[in-house]
Amino acid sequence: MFYEMDEDRVRLRLKAQPGAGRSEFCGLYTEDMLKVRIAAAAVDGAANKELIKIISKTFKVPKSSIELLSGQNSKIKRVEFPKTEKFMEFIEKMKERE
């Protein structure tokens, strides 16, 4: 799975594609990794900031509660944030696509 969950937190494994035309989640990259396009270039942390913005907007999570666990200088990233209803809806939609 591309995510791990406990009672109140979620951890995602992501494959980032910086410099894309627009920022969006695109579906599975591999069985255990989700692909995300990021409009910002990978320069001076701009792509990481945009990634946090995408996660915040998509899953209705405050930006300050999103933590980049690994991959600050890599396209492969692990992030953690509070579990929300929007995230649970996202998981259900992903399961429907399989």
**Pair of tokens at residue 12:** 């995602």
Say what the pLDDT of residue 98 is: 67
What is the length of the chain? 98
In contact, 24 and 14? CB cutoff 8 Å = no
Would you write out the chain's pLDDT as a tens digit for each of its 98 residues? Answer: 899 999 999 999 999 999 999 999 999 999 899 999 999 999 999 999 999 999 999 999 999 999 999 999 999 999 999 999 999 999 999 888 76
Residue position matching structure tokens 């429907």:
96
* Domains, the chain, with CATH or none: 3-97 (3.30.1200.10)
- Conformation bin of residue 81: beta by default, left when phi > 0, alpha when psi is -120 to 50: beta
78: part of which helix (H) or strand (E)?
strand 76-82
